[in-house]
Structure 1
Amino acid sequence: MRPLFHPDVKDVPVEAILHALSDPVRVAIYAEIVAQDCSQNCSAFLHLKETPIPKSTLSQHFRILREAGLIRGERRGVEMHNTSRCTEMEQRYPGLIASIVRAHDIQLADEARRAKNSAKKRQKA
């Protein structure tokens, strides 16, 4: 198997990070990886937000995150485990990643609140 590409953080332009995190699925994956203290197996994301995601699609999302320098992938047998490179990114772009993840969390909370309000309105009708 060929080795995985992990760019040096100093070679990662901010545009690559913003592009990688512009996709809602990728930012959700990344936010989940950042929230964990241990590495995450790719198959842990086969159902994101109750939506099934094909393995081939997940592979592409992880490749984009890895090539943007946001995660480090490590093969363990037939599985791929991913960890965040937040500490390295924080040194290069202070506050950027934390702000994006925080904005994603706010967005999720807003979506949950809207869904709850919508369910209440349906119950009253």
Structure 2
Amino acid sequence: MLFAHDTEISLAAAVQLVNTAEEPDTLATVADLDAHYADYGYTGRHDRTRAELDEVRALRPRLRTLLTSTRDEAVDIVNAMLAEARALPSSRGTTAGTGTCTPSTPTGRSWSASSSRPRWR
């Protein structure tokens, strides 16, 4: 499956973040988080605090679950994340076996997208 360059970078950053939880844990300090952000060109908010580091570290198990889930499991996980963040759109369902989902938009209309499940190693 081909992804746009920015999507590839985001996926690589997510995989690397998850992998920092493996022994030895390589995301132990604010400096480690600074380096992770720099490695992937992150330009968003970065407080450089222990609280932020703890929040990012707490994401790793859930992100690992998402990255290693089946497509159908991923839909439920992403929908839960979107609902918690009060973000739209969220998927209203998938057509089993097709990779097609029908998310709702803020206007209540829907659209379809089709994709294959990426393989994570």
Q: If the length of structure 2 is used for normalisation, what is the TM-score?
A: 0.29
Larger helix proportion of the pair: 1
